[in-house]
Copies of this chain bind each other. A is one copy, B any other.
Amino acid sequence: MAELNFDVAQLAHIEIYTPKPDATLWFFKEILGMEETKREGQSVYLRAYEEFYHHSLKITERNQPGLGHVGWRVSSPEALERRVEAVKATGLGRGWIDGDIGHGPAYQLTTPEGHKMELFWEVEYYEPPRELRSSLKSRPQKRPTRGVPVRRLDHVNLLCANPTPNRQFFMEQLGFRLREQILLKNGSELGAWMSVSPLVHEVACMRDATGVGGRLHHLCYWYGVPQHLSDAADLCAENGIKIEFGPGKHGVSQAFFMYVWEPGGNRVELFGDAGYLIFDPTWRPVVWNEDELDPAVVWYGSPAVPETYFIYGTPNPAEQAAD
């Protein structure tokens, strides 16, 4: 057995597109309590109050919602070289850029279905202005008094026409470990949850029931405190934010979840629980079979999974067609 690969260190940021930038910003700032660190061109950069880097979310105006790219930080300069070589060998590399606001040189690549990603090493740390400095020294800034503030970016879920080659790419080229998986009776994969850390996942690949693929299912921010999910649900209900599903508890990942659609159309998950953590270096992936789909998706909390959960993603061609 090969030793574990720790080259990819963490999910560092996500860029999403939105056709309604003001409303999207309002949601992330006023309801989720995020902080704006920069505006440039058609983009605004945000971070959660417990995040140490310049930003974890880049919101860019576009005519359709969807995923811009996913940014991964590696464990060392040597790790970056190793991963770039591995990706290049697959033909999925796109080449280097000089960097973006908040981080240094980055190697661009895509998943087999075309989701854009970046690998980089150098980061810019956030420095709070004096009035935001916290006496709680592991907090990069004071806890906001606005909305129900999320604490950190948790994971991204990618809709794939076929999850399998995408999962293999994450595992083989980037060193992710398979943590949980749903298999259909015909042997095909409905979804795979993978991580490079004790988190159950930083990335999931789920089957796109529309067959389109290459889309965003959701990005997820983390509370870690169950009550905060109820509080966020209350604010969403008060303010006309569509709650698609939850609060409830997933079997997969054990997460206490809620899915909402931010005003720009992207699905955002909120995690209200710590879930469980995997420290076992010989972890045997949890495999859910088709007849266990119910507890896999909802351990408790909702009598039924809404149909949109399996077909809605961004961009959403059905909506475009309807326009």
User: What 1/0 mask marks residues of chain A from 186 to 197 whose CB sits below 8 Å from any chain B CB?
Assistant: 000000000001
Closest residue on chain B to residue A222 by CB atoms: B274
A128 within 8 A of B: no
Please classify how large the interface on chain A is, using the bins under 10, 10 to 19, 20 to 34, 35 or more: 35 or more
Given the interface contacts A75-B3, A146-B145, A249-B230, does A180 sit within 8 Å of B138 by beta carbon? yes
A235 within 8 A of B: yes
User: What 1/0 mask marks residues of chain A from 1 to 41 whose CB sits below 8 Å from any chain B CB?
Assistant: 10110100111000000000000000000110000000000
Residue A50 contacts which of B152, B273, B276 (CB distance < 8 angstroms)?
B276
Stretch at the interface among A100-108, A158-166, A280-288, A311-319: A280-288
Interface residues of A in 263-322 (CB under 8 A from B): 273-274, 276-277, 279-282, 286-288, 292, 295-296, 299-306
Shortest CB-to-CB span from A307 to chain B, Å, is 9
Shortest CB-to-CB span from A29 to chain B, Å, is 10
Shortest CB-to-CB span from A225 to chain B, Å, is 6
Residue A301 contacts which of B76, B200, B279, B301 (CB distance < 8 angstroms)?
B301
A172 within 8 A of B: no
